[in-house]
Amino acid sequence: METGGGLATAKRKMQKSRRTWLLLWCSLLLPTAFEFQLNDKFGKFQSPGFPTAYGDNIYQTWNISVPSGFVIKLYFSHFSLEPSYRCDYDHVKILLEGQQLAKLCGETSTDTEEAPGDKLFISTGENMTVIFRTDYSNEKNYTGFAAHYAAVDIDECNRAAFEEPSCDHYCHNYLGGYYCSCKLGYYLDSDHRTCRIRKA
């Protein structure tokens, strides 16, 4: 009776040990995920371990948000990632409202991969997401990246940037917004944009 109980206990311990090793093995293969919120008007972020080589199986996300009336300007002062066809291995993705703006890797651009170089990435709104993902191995010690962002005032009065004019007559831009005014003899409608003739 004791022998059978001892065997059952040993078997349970062995199964538990196997599960533990399996979980440990899977955790080593699966990317480690971290997410960061960046809400300041300017800032800097970088790959883990920068300026030394980054590790394997990394999945990090930076969600950048700036106040309404601003867009985000992003650039890289350093960029050194493993090159791969279409950046399928290690890469940085830049997303705007879930849509991919860029997928970056390597150190210089080729016909099948894009590295940022001196390029500026500008959002269309007040949010931008940057994702850094690495695979399970690197043949060389790539040093990752250093990225910088800043909130940039939208010039709502620049008609080229918008499908329709911001104001009927005069547009006045200020930091974080704009307002409209009208020529003499007109008044500003309740939509704060349309100018209507003042009736005598």
Domain boundaries, the chain: 1-30, 31-153, 159-197
Cα separation of the two ends of the chain? 109
Tokens representing 52 are: 């030394």
Tokens representing 11 are: 């078997």
- Tell me which residue has tokens 């300017």: 42
Other Cβ atoms within 10 Å of 51 Cβ, number? 12
The model scores a pTM over 0.85: no
- Tell me which residue has tokens 């695979």: 135
CATH architecture classification, 159-197: Ribbon (2.10)
pLDDT of amino acid 26: 46
Which residues, including other chains, have CB under 8 Å from residue 145's CB and lie 6 or more apart?
46, 47, 50, 76, 78, 79, 80, 81, 92, 132
CA proximity to 88, closest of 108, 72, 104 = 104
Cα dist from 15 to 22, 77, 89, whole Å: 10, 50, 35
Cα-to-chain-centroid distance, residue 168: 36
pLDDT of amino acid 177: 86
pLDDT of amino acid 25: 47
Cα separation of 199 and 77, whole Å?
Answer: 59
CA proximity to 149, closest of 168, 165, 132, 126 = 126
Q: Are 44 and 98 in contact (CB under 8 A)?
A: no
Q: Are 94 and 74 in contact (CB under 8 A)?
A: yes
Cα separation of 91 and 104, whole Å?
Answer: 5
Cα separation of 91 and 131, whole Å?
Answer: 8
**Protein fold of 31-153:** Jelly Rolls (2.60.120)
pLDDT of amino acid 5: 64
What is the pLDDT tens value at each position of the chain, 200 positions in all? 445 566 666 566 556 556 555 444 444 445 567 999 999 999 999 999 999 999 999 999 999 999 998 999 999 999 999 999 999 999 999 999 999 999 999 999 998 899 999 999 999 999 999 999 999 888 789 999 999 999 999 888 886 554 566 899 999 988 888 899 999 999 999 999 999 999 87
Tokens representing 74 are: 């992003």
